[in-house]
Amino acid sequence: MIPAAFDYVAPTTLDEALASLSAHRDDVKILAGGQSLLPVLRMRLNEPGLLIDLGRIESLRGIRDDGDALVIGAMTTHHDVSASALVQEHALLISEAMTHLADPQVRHRGTFGGALSHADPAGDLCAPALALGATFVIASAGGSRTVDAGSFFTGLFETAIGEDEILAEVRIPKHTDWGARYEKFVQIAYQWSIVGVAATVQVEGGLFAAARVGLTNMGIVPLRAEATESSLVGQPATAETIAAAAALAADGTNPPSDLNGDADYRRHLARVLTGRALRAASGVA
């Protein structure tokens, strides 16, 4: 299908984009990489009067070291994030998740901030961002504000970004020397996650010093497996410890039931994948 007619602007600064957004907030869509929006426009599931393309705003691209955190511009492509030595060193869980995200063509066009703003519960970046304690810098004409990952994802395809706001960058606290693994269950290659598990751990002296586990597609927003995390800390890094912790991974979740599997099947997958992810992240055979 062909999209309905719309006006198009491609500002070169964030301020210009925000000014256009403020003037047309009730009838506008933001275009980042376009991997989610363009199919929606082609099917006429949304018919905005104005499309604001962020692709020419260089200030929204790039990855930088900011002391205790990495800062990833919202318009940085998945390819550039996955190829970043800084991300591999200080946020290995993001690099792990990138290896499961779509195909090379999508990774060269899709953007880090666009995927997170889309907030698909089956998307592969939301749970890792939650597990790492990311914060989101959201800009408006009146200034900017910072929202933590636990408050950013508010519902099915919904975030804390307001109608007159644009996600500018994502801050990822450094998890240098932490082990990490993203495990994803699909039926065909490059599919959205039926269930995914993002695990990153710190092992010191043979004990779990810290653990963060995020769950993909186990609810309408990404979730933390808090019972699993709590049961690991201070315990020996052994297969027995991991098995007991993984058994708790689905506690408090409300996964969907659909053609790919019912809720109980997804709970089972979450426990299995959590065990695999934790063993790989901690180096436990």
The tens digit of pLDDT for each residue in 107-121 reads: 999 999 999 999 999
Band of pLDDT at residue 70, cut at 50, 70 and 90: very high
Query: 3-state DSSP call for residue 64?
Result: strand
Phi, psi of 108 (to 5 degrees): -80, -20
Please tell me the predicted confidence (pLDDT) of residue 78: 97
What's the pLDDT score for residue 60?
98
Q: Supply the pLDDT for residue 217.
A: 98
Task: Please give the average per-residue pLDDT across 181-203, as a whole number.
Answer: 95
- Number of neighbouring beta carbons within 10 Å of residue 47: 13
Residue 25 has pLDDT above 80, yes or no: no
Band (38; pLDDT cuts 50, 70, 90): confident
Q: Which CATH architecture has domain 60-173?
A: 2-Layer Sandwich (3.30)
- Banded pLDDT at 266 (limits 50, 70, 90): very high
% of the chain surpassing 90 pLDDT? 88
Query: Rg (Cα) of the chain, in Å, rounded?
Result: 19
Across the beta sheet with 50-53, the strand order is 7-9, 50-53, 28-31
Three-state secondary structure string covering the chain? CCCCCCEEECCCCHHHHHHHHHHCHHHEEEECCCCCHHHHHHCCCCCCCEEEECCCCHHHCCEEECCCEEEEECCCEHHHHHHCHHHHHHCHHHHHHHCCCCCHHHHHHCEHHHHHHHCCCCCCCHHHHHHCCCEEEEEECCEEEEEEHHHHEEECCEECCCCCEEEEEEEEECCCCCEEEEEEECCCCCCCCCEEEEEEEEEECCEEEEEEEEEECCCCCCEECHHHHHHHCCCECCHHHHHHHHCCCCCCCCCCCECCECHHHHHHHHHHHHHHHHHHHHCCC
Residue 24 has pLDDT above 90, yes or no: no
The CATH classification number of 180-282 equals 3.30.390.50
* pLDDT for 45 beyond 90: no
Q: Are 219 and 121 in contact (CB under 8 A)?
A: yes
Task: Give pLDDT, residue 163.
Answer: 93
Mean pLDDT (the chain) is 96
| Architecture of the CATH domain 7-52 | 2-Layer Sandwich (3.30)
Helices (H) and strands (E) in the chain, counts: 12, 14
CATH 3.30.390.50 spans which residues of the chain? 180-282
Domain(s) labelled CATH 3.30.465.10 in the chain stretch across 60-173
Structure tokens at 13: 């600064």
Domain with CATH 3.30.43.10 in the chain: 7-52
Q: pTM of the predicted model, to two decimals? A: 0.96
108 - beta bridge partners?
none
Q: Per-residue pLDDT for 246 more than 80?
A: yes
C-alpha to C-alpha distance for 229 and 251, rounded to whole angstroms: 12
**Helix, strand and coil percent figures for the chain, each rounded to 5:** 35, 30, 40
Long-range contacts of 256-264 (CB under 8 A, 24+ apart): 256/121, 256/217, 260/187, 260/194, 261/194
